[in-house]
């Protein structure tokens, strides 16, 4: 009898241990998100609603017609005409995921809208997978060593070849003396000070400085010594990655990231009307890293939440390590000349300046609009906010964390 009792006790203990392990193991959604009431996941409903009401009241004041919004903002810059698609946006929208369950959603989370510079986090992830696989051997390697001359697809000029005598049929975006010093790390951190014109947009025309006489004449800073958020340079990175992968980047993203995380089939990644190149005999569009002149990722809030959940879990999805832990660590490492910025577009909160109300371990993927994916490992939270005023994000996070009944601090 004593032996039997011991056996039963061991079985009970084993079941309890397994239950504890199951409770601790991360939960991953299937093709459809499972939903729990907020209280099931440690969130007080009344305070949660106060946070949601705060976010809805802080909806972006820019016009919903994003063509109009463009020409009120970026379109006022030199060479500011939009050359990629723009789409009218929907309502202020949010999705909150805790412990792998959707616990709140509002607005139009199923609506496919522009994500602007959240696109950069998808782009940099493809650099990460290329690095993990050895397609990029070192992030300290100069980018030019990985690129061949790129033939731009210009069918309209086929009968005007004589007009280009003395010119080149190719572009080589990293072949100036300055640009040959630029590494992958510099491009990912926006510290390259890359010089040139790509897809009709000079680097100086993106967020130009206050002194027009210096736009084309200023001395270049040594790569790594200065930071500037610049979409021309991001698009140069996208072109370089296209050359490395030798496949359209939306197809790479689909195969390597979006399908494995069970994203929908409704997201799209666009480039510009003039950003087509000839690659291995095929005409391929080089995509953009944002919507500064149109284009970029067009995606719904649920798929954004999936990507945020992937980064919350350190690049892992179920039994597959999509982004290596080392890559995620590097992506969140502060850039010396801009500490809140890691790899594009991973914004860290280590100094508490990005989100004073959030843990220092929290981070965000941010784009114009404002579109944001808030990732909080300490509280096992992912939040997608779309079309909210940027200063209101911290106020929302503050109220959301106050709603947690199991908050750690």
Residue 296 structure tokens: 């970029």
- 116 neighbors 371 (Cβ within 8 angstroms): yes
Give Cα 30 distance to the centre of its chain.
22
Please give the Cα distance from 191 to 226 (Å, whole number). Answer: 5
CA dist 203 to 165, 213, 228, 237, 390, Å? 26, 15, 11, 13, 25
Please give the Cα distance from 38 to 181 (Å, whole number). Answer: 51
- 405 neighbors 379 (Cβ within 8 angstroms): no
Residue 361 structure tokens: 């371990």
pLDDT of residue 17: 43
- pLDDT exceeds 50 at position 129: yes
pTM above 0.85, yes or no: yes
Closest CA to 270 of 65, 82, 71: 82
> Strands (DSSP E) along 185-311, which ranges?
197-198, 201-202, 268-279, 282-287, 296-299
Work out the burial of residue 15: count CB atoms within 10 Å of its CB; fewer than 13 is exposed, 13-18 middle, 19 or more buried: exposed
- Looking at residues 39-48, what average pLDDT do you find? 98
- 381 neighbors 96 (Cβ within 8 angstroms): yes
pLDDT in tens, 345-384: 999 999 999 999 999 999 999 999 999 999 999 999 999 9
Which three-class secondary structure state does DSSP give residue 364? strand
Give Cα 314 distance to the centre of its chain.
15
All domains in the chain, ordered by first residue: 29-118+295-402 (3.40.710), 121-259+271-287 (no CATH)
pLDDT in tens, 175-197: 999 999 999 999 999 999 999 99
Contacts of 242-246 spanning 24+ positions with Cβ under 8 A: 242/277, 242/279, 242/284, 242/286, 242/287, 243/146, 243/147, 243/148, 243/150, 243/279, 244/130, 244/135, 244/136, 244/146, 245/126, 245/130, 245/135, 246/279, 246/280
Place of tokens 């572009």: 171
Report the greatest alpha carbon distance in the chain. 99
Please give the Cα distance from 297 to 299 (Å, whole number). Answer: 6
- Looking at residues 71-81, what average pLDDT do you find? 96
CB-based contacts of 247: which residues, under 8 Å, 6+ apart? none
- pLDDT exceeds 80 at position 5: no
- pLDDT exceeds 70 at position 3: no
- To the nearest 10°, report the CA torsion of 356, 296, 272, 241: 90
CB-based contacts of 207: which residues, under 8 Å, 6+ apart? 77, 228, 229, 230
Residue 57 structure tokens: 């009241």
Please give the Cα distance from 339 to 333 (Å, whole number). Answer: 8
pLDDT in tens, 250-288: 999 999 999 999 999 999 999 999 999 999 999 999 999
- Looking at residues 114-135, what average pLDDT do you find? 98
- For Cα atoms 37, 40, 45, give the angle at the middle one, nearest 5 degrees: 55
Please give the Cα distance from 123 to 146 (Å, whole number). Answer: 17
């Amino acid at each position: 009898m004593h032996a039997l009792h011991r056996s039963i006790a061991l079985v009970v203990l084993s079941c309890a241990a397994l239950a504890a392990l199951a409770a601790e193991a991360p939960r991953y959604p299937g093709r459809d998100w499972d939903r729990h009431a907020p209280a099931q996941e440690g969130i007080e409903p009344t305070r949660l609603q106060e946070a949601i009401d705060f976010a809805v009241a802080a909806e972006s004041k820019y016009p919903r017609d994003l063509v109009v919004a463009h020409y009120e903002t970026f379109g006022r810059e030199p060479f500011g005409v939009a050359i990629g698609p723009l789409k009218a946006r929907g309502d202020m929208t949010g999705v909150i995921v805790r412990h792998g369950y959707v616990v709140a959603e509002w607005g139009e989370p199923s609506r496919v809208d522009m994500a602007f510079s959240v696109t950069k986090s998808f782009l940099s992830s493809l650099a990460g997978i290329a690095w993990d696989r050895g397609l990029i051997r070192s992030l300290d390697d100069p980018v030019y060593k990985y690129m061949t001359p790129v033939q731009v697809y210009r069918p309209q000029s086929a009968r005007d070849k004589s007009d280009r005598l003395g010119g080149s049929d190719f572009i080589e975006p990293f072949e100036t003396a300055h640009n040959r010093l630029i590494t992958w790390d510099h491009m990912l951190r926006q510290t390259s000070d890359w010089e040139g014109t790509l897809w009709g947009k000079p680097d100086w025309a993106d967020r130009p400085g206050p002194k027009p006489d210096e736009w084309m004449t200023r001395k270049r800073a040594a790569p790594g010594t200065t930071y500037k958020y610049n979409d021309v340079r991001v698009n140069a990175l996208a072109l370089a990655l296209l050359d490395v992968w030798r496949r359209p980047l939306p197809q790479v993203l689909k195969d390597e990231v979006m399908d494995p995380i069970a994203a929908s089939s409704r997201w799209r990644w666009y480039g510009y009307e003039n950003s087509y190149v000839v690659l291995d005999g095929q005409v391929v569009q080089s995509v953009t890293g944002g919507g500064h002149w149109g284009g970029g990722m067009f995606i719904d809030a649920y798929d954004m939440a999936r990507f945020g959940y992937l980064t919350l879990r350190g690049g892992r999805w179920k039994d597959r390590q999509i982004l290596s832990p080392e890559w995620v660590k590097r992506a969140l490492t502060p850039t010396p000349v801009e500490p809140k910025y890691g790899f594009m577009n991973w914004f860290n909160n280590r100094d508490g300046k990005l989100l004073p109300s959030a843990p220092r371990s929290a981070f965000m993927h941010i784009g114009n609009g404002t579109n944001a994916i808030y990732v909080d490992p300490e509280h096992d939270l992912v939040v997608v906010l779309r079309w909210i005023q940027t200063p209101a994000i911290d106020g929302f996070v503050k109220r959301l964390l106050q709603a947690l009944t199991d908050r750690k601090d």
